[in-house]
Amino acid sequence: MKRLKILGFLLIVAALGFTAVNAQNGKFKTWKIKSSQSGGFAGINKSFTLDSDGNLNRVNKGQENFSKIDESKVAEIGKLIKELKLPGTKQKIFKGKRIYDGIYTGLVITLDGKDYSVEGTSFNDAKYLALSAKQKATLERLKTKLNEIDGFLPDSMTN
């Protein structure tokens, strides 16, 4: 019985190690990108979500619009997400703007259910990934590709 418990424990540790190695190598099954913009005096509330199946969901002040993106574009975006190598990237605290009627943005990439706050702005201090120069260059290429999807990124995130 004791050997069985030890064997079970070793199998669990091995499975977790294998999962961590796959995540580090950019091997994940699903991804999702969410771009959001909120705040301002007029109460802006927009979000755009694209997933690895090509489902695009646009929400603007409660009105939703669904569409499907071409598989070749989805594959190109998926390749760039893998190139980012987000798992294992350290986080850094960025100062909040502290502007009550400010417009705040966010770009979150989800890999197999785990969220990575890639960049954004907020009222309060917030944690975002501390991207390397190579990751930043890849992120710019990803944002360029996302901009080909009409209005996916807010104007403030495209510079």
- CA 105 to CA 121: how far, in whole Å? 5
The 103-111 sheet, strands edge to edge: 63-68, 55-60, 44-51, 31-39, 103-111, 114-120
In a domain, 69, yes or no: yes
Q: Which two tokens stand for residue 57?
A: 């969901």
In a domain, 123, yes or no: yes
In a domain, 6, yes or no: no
In a domain, 113, yes or no: yes
In a domain, 2, yes or no: no
CATH number at residue 144: 3.30.1560
The count of structural domains within the chain is: 1
Of 12, 1, 4, 39, nearest in space to 124 by CA: 39
In a domain, 7, yes or no: no
Contact 51, 66 (CB under 8 A): no
In a domain, 121, yes or no: yes
In a domain, 32, yes or no: yes
- CA 83 to CA 41: how far, in whole Å? 38
User: Could you report the per-residue pLDDT of 111-157, keeping only the tens digit for each?
Assistant: 999 999 999 999 999 999 999 999 999 999 999 999 888 767 666 56
Domain with 124 in it: 28-151
Q: Running DSSP on this structure, what letter comes out for residue 110?
A: E
User: Could you report the per-residue pLDDT of 69-121, keeping only the tens digit for each?
Assistant: 999 999 999 999 999 999 999 999 999 888 888 889 999 999 999 999 999 99
User: Could you report the per-residue pLDDT of 22-31, keeping only the tens digit for each?
Assistant: 444 467 999 9
